[in-house]
Amino acid sequence: MTALSFIEPVELVIFDCDGVLIDSELISAEILLGALERLGIAVDFAHFTRHFLGRSFPRVAQSIREAFGVALPADFETSYRRDLLAAFETRLARVSGIGDVLDQLAVRRCVATSSSPERAARSLAITGLAPLFPGAVFTASEVANGKPAPDLFLHAASRMGVDPARCLVIEDSLPGLTAARAAGMPVLHFTGGSHYRDGHDPLPDDLAGIPQLTEWRLFFHLCPALAGSSTGANIGETD
């Protein structure tokens, strides 16, 4: 496997959360598709990955209303979030191999996610990842426009005090890849989550050439310069 070269040295790795750090997308799909089925809306997993994956819930709800011409119940989002977090408590796990990567990562790291602050915090706590990102979890609620707009990644870079060109984004979703490109950041397409176990659609032409990372154990083969022996000194906010 050939190591990647970056125009600027990488000083910050920005991780998406769902499907990258935590193996949550199949659980999310099950809960959301079940809730829609109870409303008489038939949506399959392919539709979920193409239209919902990587987007904030308000954008997902808007997509459902527009695609199916329905008015969702007033408590739909609240009920979905409650059922999802209940499922997370017993079923959520890290994506295999991420712990080793975080242990060896020699540069700073943060999370930039479309999830709500509550969902992100609980997800990282359940999986034991929260202590590895102190003061370094940023959500779409903090910006005017979520993914695929670049706002969230640019916000994360600004808060961490790092030039966008020196950030590396790890993303699994099309909106996330699009957002990273728009932010002017190098990006890897992570396809090691269980929601990609049966493959995925080819990337569109405008995202062609984004390197693919199929599992975390290959990360330092692609990015050997990011490996190191110290872990605790490089994370969190700038001094």
Contact, 48 vs 32, CB < 8 A? yes
For residue 102, the model assigns a pLDDT of 98
For residue 49, the model assigns a pLDDT of 85
For residue 133, the model assigns a pLDDT of 98
Which tens digits make up the pLDDT trace of 12-48? 999 999 999 999 999 999 999 999 999 999 988 888 8
Instruction: Please check the confidence at residue 236 and state whether its pLDDT lies above 60.
Output: no
pLDDT bucket at 229, cuts 50 / 70 / 90: low
Q: Based on the residue annotation, tell me whether 206 is a catalytic residue of this protein.
A: no
Percentage of residues of the chain with pLDDT beyond 90: 82
**Chain-wide mean pLDDT for the chain?**
92
Instruction: Please check the confidence at residue 3 and state whether its pLDDT lies above 60.
Output: yes
Which distant-in-sequence residues (6+ apart) come within 8 Å of 26 by Cβ? 194, 195
Tokens of 192: 């090691």
Q: Which of 16, 23, 151, 172 is catalytic?
A: 16
For residue 232, the model assigns a pLDDT of 39
Q: What are phi and psi of 18, to 5 degrees?
A: -70, 125
Q: What are phi and psi of 13, to 5 degrees?
A: -105, 125
Q: Report the 10 Å Cβ neighbour count for 114.
A: 27
Q: Which of 18, 23, 151, 172 is catalytic?
A: 18
Comparing CA positions, the residue from 41, 208, 10 lying closest to residue 52 is 41
Which tens digits make up the pLDDT trace of 112-159? 999 999 999 999 999 999 999 999 999 999 999 999 999 999 999 999
Alpha helices in the chain (DSSP H): 25-37, 45-51, 57-68, 76-91, 98-104, 117-126, 151-160, 174-182, 219-222
Average of per-residue pLDDT across 160-179? 97
pLDDT bucket at 50, cuts 50 / 70 / 90: confident
Give pTM, 2 decimals: 0.89
Instruction: Please check the confidence at residue 175 and state whether its pLDDT lies above 70.
Output: yes
Instruction: Please check the confidence at residue 55 and state whether its pLDDT lies above 80.
Output: yes
For residue 183, the model assigns a pLDDT of 98
Alpha carbon of 152 to those of 50, 88, 218: distances in Å?
21, 25, 27
Q: Based on the residue annotation, tell me whether 18 is a catalytic residue of this protein.
A: yes
